[in-house]
């Protein structure tokens, strides 16, 4: 009971500190169809609630969710390798996500267990400039997703990819971890990475080199375990190891034909010379079929029942016929055995006839010694060792 006055002021102070802490607010402008990356690190959360600078070595974890919801929106993902590494919010908004979204981010100091909050206001709009109808997606197996999210590796990838594309501006459209696309977690061996899919768009057409890599002949060679058809120098190596068997190209410069909307008809089929249904159906009497279906099984079951009853009840031989078929000598022998058996059973039940000496327990043939008369010999076993 003495510890209660100590905890009450601490709890009141903690609640007051949480109520007095104001969440920071940051505004971002993601674009539809373009990759959005927001870094969560010590610079994003520079101070704790006590306005003390956070050392870079302090482990911090983050939790982000859409305001009023327990999770992030479907287009936004969060990743952090460890508490000593920065976290990332990344994704590419779709036209359905256009508008205003608020993301609430909470930072946890794993040493002092202090927390601070930040509101990330996302104003999602349409991109400016020309459209990017030519889109290509590459699988980079030498990197994890958080290694290409910063601006420096992403710009280096675009610069290296420009050597394989027609002259023009390249833009990142989306970055996705290979684990989110069905990839396997790599073994904990040095040099093994999870892999990342990088989607790039441009207003310039694809180069001949990229078309050859994504051709059906190249995919056929990959299916047979052979290297793909790469007709140009790989400018992405050695910084980025691209799996050229997983390159996909999408050309949206030619609009796809709109699906034909089916028009409802009157429900009457058109004249078809190969389909001539009968115009009239003749009347048919199903009484005969019903009687055959029901009566035939019943008649068969009745005949079987009568046959079984005749065999069991009307074909019995009887005792008289059995005795007449048996010889007299066999009958006398059987009756003699039966009479002797009954007589022996009666003698065993009465116990009035004295038992032979050889059947008495503990009878000594050489001395003629018997057990004392007071002992019930019927209860003594023939061999005393059986006790």
Strand, helix or coil for residue 175? strand
Closest CA to 137 of 99, 175, 167: 175
Q: Which pLDDT band holds residue 358 (cuts at 50, 70, 90)?
A: low
pLDDT digits over 235-277, tens only? 888 888 999 888 999 888 877 777 777 777 777 667 767 777 6
pLDDT value for 378: 52
Query: pLDDT exceeding 70 applies to what percent of the chain?
Result: 78
Cβ burial, residue 143 (10 Å; 0-12/13-18/19+):
buried
pLDDT value for 95: 92
Lowest mean pLDDT among 94-103, 205-214, 221-230, 248-257: 248-257
What is the C-alpha to C-alpha distance for residues 284 and 291, in angstroms, rounded to an integer? 15
The residue behind tokens 């709009």 is: 125
pLDDT value for 10: 42
pLDDT value for 6: 47
pLDDT digits over 120-173, tens only? 999 999 998 888 899 999 999 989 999 999 989 899 999 888 888 877 788 999
Question: Which helix H or strand E contains 94, and what residues bound it?
Answer: none
Residue 221's contacts (CB-CB under 8 Å, 6 or more residues apart) are 227, 228, 229
pLDDT digits over 21-80, tens only? 456 888 999 999 999 999 998 777 655 554 555 666 788 999 999 999 999 999 999 999
């Amino acid at each position: 009971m003495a510890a209660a006055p100590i905890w009450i002021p601490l709890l009141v102070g903690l609640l007051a500190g949480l109520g007095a802490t104001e969440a920071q607010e940051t505004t971002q402008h993601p674009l539809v169809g373009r990759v959005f990356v927001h870094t969560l690190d010590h610079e994003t959360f520079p101070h704790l609630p006590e306005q003390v600078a956070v050392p870079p070595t302090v482990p911090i974890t983050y939790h982000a969710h859409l305001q009023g919801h327990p999770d992030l929106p479907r287009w936004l993902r969060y990743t952090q390798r460890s508490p000593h590494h920065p976290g990332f919010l990344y994704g590419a908004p779709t036209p359905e996500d256009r508008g205003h979204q608020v993301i609430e981010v909470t930072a946890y100091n794993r040493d002092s267990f202090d927390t601070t909050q930040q509101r990330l206001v996302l104003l999602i709009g349409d991109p400016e400039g020309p459209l990017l109808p030519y889109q290509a997606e590459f699988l980079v197996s030498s990197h994890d997703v958080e290694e290409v999210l910063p601006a420096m590796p992403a710009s280096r990838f675009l610069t290296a990819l420009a050597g394989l594309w027609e002259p023009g501006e390249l833009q990142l459209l989306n970055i996705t971890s290979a684990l989110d696309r069905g990839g396997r977690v790599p073994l904990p061996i040095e040099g093994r990475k999870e892999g990342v899919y990088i989607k790039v768009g441009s207003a310039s057409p694809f180069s001949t080199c990229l078309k050859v890599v994504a051709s059906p002949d190249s995919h056929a060679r990959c299916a047979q375990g052979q290297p793909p058809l790469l007709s140009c120098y790989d400018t992405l190596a050695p910084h980025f190891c691209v799996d050229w068997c997983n390159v996909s190209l999408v050309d949206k410069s030619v609009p796809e034909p709109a699906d034909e909307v089916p028009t409802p008809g009157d429900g009457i089929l058109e004249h078809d010379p190969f389909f001539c249904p009968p115009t009239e159906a003749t009347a048919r009497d199903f009484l005969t079929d019903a009687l055959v279906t029901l009566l035939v099984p019943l008649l068969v079951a009745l005949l079987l029942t009568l046959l079984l009853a005749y065999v069991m009840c009307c074909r019995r031989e009887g005792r008289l016929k059995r005795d007449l078929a048996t010889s007299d000598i066999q009958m006398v022998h059987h009756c003699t055995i039966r009479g002797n058996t009954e007589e022996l059973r009666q003698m065993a039940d009465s116990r009035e006839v004295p038992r032979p000496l050889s059947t008495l327990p503990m009878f000594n043939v050489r001395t003629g010694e018997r057990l004392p008369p007071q002992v019930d010999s019927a209860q003594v076993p023939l061999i005393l060792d059986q006790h």
